[in-house]
Structures are given as structure tokens and as C-alpha cells.
Amino acid sequence: MEISDPDEVHAVLADPAFIVPPVPRVESPAGIAWLRAHVGRFSSGPEHERRRALALAEIERLEPEDLRRDARRRATAAVRAGRSLREVPVETLAAAMGLPAGLAADVETAARAYQPHVEADAAAADRAVARLVEASGGIADEPTAARIGLLVQACDATAGLVERALRAMPEQPGATVEDILGGVLRQDPPVRATRRLATTAARVGSVDVAPATIVTLDLTAGGDDRLPFGSGLRPCPGREQALALAAGCLEASAPPARQRASSPDSARSNS
């Protein structure tokens, strides 16, 4: 079942009767199934609250202005070297979290298999997660899963936001970086849908939803730029940090005037 009306999407996201579809419990070894089973993203109830708190503690240490500045520096170097900007958000975030360099390839491999309903190379993802655990201190526990989960969620989503914004930039010569990012989030967000499981009989708009129904929520609905970061009971806690990473990448490709207008040093309220 798919829901695309923005008011109904917000209503489902705010309704405790709809939960994230659960994943199997896995204690070891540290592979992709272990990661899913230990992050807040696929948890509910007290487990979600505890794991979300761990992610929030990591996020709260990350100053958006610092992330933006370092992303701009790394992206500028990538542009000069003729390299893609795809790895810049993960590289910047990992450095800010005190993790070693060179994790982007493993993060991307894990990200491709992160969602349990997609087809991916699970064996490659297992090896990538095991290496990420080692790089994070070698202890396969919830704090480690929280750090890896942040990197994974920043991978495709933030890189996708940057890629879409770069495509949109030539069509908006007078727009600021913030305007371009806002337009992408309204019209072509990188995260286009999320899923929820009805735990009881429910009614969404004029439709009755039976228990155990999985509903797919359209996050592009109505040009609402809040939806790509979620809303209701489980909004993405890293919106400011994700936008800062994306803005820094765009500034490396922006004309000098746009960089000055959009930089955190001259427009701090926008970061």
C-alpha cells in the first residue's frame, strides 16, 4: 500500500500504531544483519530510544559550520584532481567523528545492503561492516553500530543530494547554495520513500489499513521539503549536519560570488 498525500504521510509518521518493519535479532558476527539489528533505524520502543540517544550524542558533537568548512576543503581538492565528490560527505563525517581515513568504499558497500528489502551483495556488505567495526575500535556494540549507521545513512542520502544539486545548479545561476538544496529537497529528494508496518487496524484518510500491512510513504509528496528528513515520531536528527556537508560540497563547485554569499563565515544563520 502506498500513501502519497503529504498530510497523510505526516499523519502516519506521527502515529505510534505504525512502526518501522522489524529486522531479525542478530548478536554476531559483525556483518550487515548485525548492523541492522543494533541501530535505531530499524528499532522500535525502548531499544529505539536508547539507540537513537547514542546517535544523537554523536551528532551533537558535530558542528555544522565545521563540517561545511571541511567538506568545502575536501571537495575543492577533489574538483582540482578531477575526482567525484561522492566520497566527500562520508570522508568529512568520519574525520569529524575521529575515525580513520579511507572508510568511504566500505561505507558505500554497506549502504547498498542496508535496507533489508533490497537485493545486494550481502557477503561483501558483511566484510565491509566487519572492517568498519575494526576501524571504529573493534568492539561490536551499540555505540559502534550508531557510528557506522550515521556514516551509512550519510552515504547515499547526502551524496545523492549533492549530485542532484550539482545538476540543478547551472539552471539557477542567481540562486544561493541554500536555495538550490531546498529546491532539490522539494522536487527531487534523494530519499524518496520510507516504509511503516501497521501494528493494529488503522485509518489513513479515507482508507482502512489492516494490521500487519506494510505501507510505503512517498517522501516526495506535495513538494514538502520536511519529508525527506522524516517527521513525527522519528525525524532524522542530523538534518543540519547533512545540509552543511552538502553545502560545503556545492561551494567547491560554485562561482566565487555564490561561495561568498553562502559560506558559513558570511551567512552563519544559514548553516
Digit-coded pLDDT (tens) for 75-85: 999 999 999 99
Q: Return the closest-CA partner of residue 225 out of 269, 178, 266.
A: 178
Q: How many residues does the chain have?
A: 271
Residue 256 clears pLDDT 90, i.e. is over it: no
Q: Give the span between the Cα atoms of 232 and 117, in whole angstroms.
A: 23
- Per-residue pLDDT, averaged over 218-242, amounts to 88
Determine the pLDDT at residue 255: 65
Boundaries of every domain in the chain: 23-188+234-270
**Which alpha helices (H) appear in 188-255, and where do they start and end?**
239-253
For residue 259, what pLDDT is reported? 53
pLDDT at 258 over 80: no
SS3 percent helix, strand, coil of the chain, rounded to 5, is 55, 10, 35
For residue 260, pLDDT over 70 is answered with no
163: confidence class by pLDDT, cuts 50, 70, 90? very high
32-61 confidence digits (pLDDT tens)? 999 999 999 999 999 999 999 999 999 999
What digits encode the pLDDT tens for the residues 85-104? 999 999 999 999 999 999 99
The alpha-carbon radius of gyration of the chain (Å, integer) is 19
User: What pLDDT does 224 receive?
Assistant: 80
Q: Say yes or no to pLDDT of 265 above 70.
A: no
Nearest to 158 by CA among 176, 185, 121, 132: 185
Residues 6+ apart with CB under 8 A from 118: 112
Lowest average pLDDT, out of 13-22, 39-48, 257-266, goes to 257-266
Print burial letters for 56-70: b (CB count within 10 Å at least 16), e (below 16).
Answer: eebbeebebebbbbb
At 195-211, the pLDDT tens digits run 999 999 999 998 999 99
Question: pLDDT by residue (tens digit) across 98-130?
Answer: 999 999 999 999 999 999 988 889 999 999 999
- CA–CA separation, 159 and 164 (whole Å): 9
> How far is Cα 13 from Cα 68, in angstroms, rounded to an integer?
30
Answer yes or no: is pLDDT of 266 > 90: no
Model pTM score: 0.89
Q: Count of H helices and E strands in the chain?
A: 11, 6
* pLDDT above 60 (res 268): no
Q: What is the mean pLDDT of the chain?
A: 91
> What residue type is assigned to position 249 of the chain?
C
